[in-house]
Amino acid sequence: MSRTVHVLSVGQLSEKQLQRLRAVSPLLSVEQHTGQPEDMLTSDTEVLYMVNGAFDLKQAPNLRWVQLESAGVNQLHNTPVWQSDVAITTASGVHAVQIAEYVLMSLLALGYRLPLAQRLQAKSEWQRDPFEPTPFKPLELRNATLGIIGYGAIGRQVARLATAFGMRVLATKRSGRLPAFDGWTPEGTGDLDGTLPAQYYTLDELPEMLPACDAVVLALPLAAQTKHLFGKAELALLPSHALLVNIGRGGLLDHDALIAVLREGRLGGAALDVTDPEPLPAESPLWHMENVIITPHISGMSSHYNDRAVELFAENLRRYLHHESLLNEVQRDLGY
């Protein structure tokens, strides 16, 4: 390629980060404007870096590729760009480090009854009787089995940390076969060869996988085929001491079914960084359950987020200029 490629960022990249993108090739003209894509696009724009926002493709007749700053693509469903042949790539992998740490934090907090301890601390109450069974008897991670539903960049980094704690890992993948990783992840993270899980299952094989799990992590994108993937039947298959962490999307989980099993003592606890609906309504009983951790969709936040996103974008720009396949390209037929 010998012509100039005009790249527009409507993100919040620093000058240093923009210079990192420009350094990929002198053929790149990289500009950043703050605002919505619909206000910034021109006939010169060939590549767009954005968080979200719908726009009319007539504003950018030469647009060929959209690089998202997010891993999810739900915001683009049923928009003109989704219905076009413009390539869309996600920021999958940029969240792997921080979300995996959030998952392990949640498992440790739930396993060692931290939510209960915090409630007692707020009441200045020392609940400890050496002659009575303690509610603080922990679920140790060592030798526990963790089921990871969705073995992408995040799931693989969760597996890496979980095995360091001595956990046995089970994982799902669409094919059910041992998968090599073909996306992006920060160097030195994840499970590129897919060798950490002791066994793989397809989503249809969840009834075989779930009874063996002491903890489960939901790390799938939300699409038509994954909506309420985890409901009454799936929750019933888990051991009553099992822990559940959802860092995928709130719609993966049937919250009414979750509330029911928690009330009936048929689940050890849950950590929810995503809910359905979102924000979680104030009247939801989940707010007040002693074995539930709720955070406001913050597990992906990091002071290193933009640096990682720029490294991914830079690699994709290099690939684009050399007519190579792009990392994290959306498969519209799957919805993500």
Report the alpha-carbon distance of residue 143 to residue 149 in Å, rounded. 19
Pairing of β 87-89 and β 269-272: unpaired
Do 300 and 284 contact (CB within 8 A), yes or no?
no
Report the alpha-carbon distance of residue 329 to residue 112 in Å, rounded. 40
State the residue for tokens 């539903």: 149
Name the residue among 271, 292, 270, 247 with its Cα closest to residue 100: 247
Helix, strand, coil percent values for the chain (each to nearest 5): 30, 15, 55
Report the alpha-carbon distance of residue 50 to residue 184 in Å, rounded. 18
Residue 235, φ and ψ in degrees, nearest 5:
-65, -35
Report the alpha-carbon distance of residue 157 to residue 93 in Å, rounded. 9
Tell the burial category of 222 from Cβ atoms under 10 Å away from its Cβ (0-12, 13-18, 19+): buried
Around Cβ 265, how many Cβ atoms within 10 Å?
A: 10
Around Cβ 286, how many Cβ atoms within 10 Å?
A: 17
Number of H-type helices and E-type strands within the chain = 9, 12
Kindly list the catalytic residues. 249, 278, 297
Paired strand residues for 245: 217, 271
Report the alpha-carbon distance of residue 137 to residue 112 in Å, rounded. 7
What is the residue-wise DSSP string for 170-194? EEE-SS-S-PPP-S---TT-S-TT-
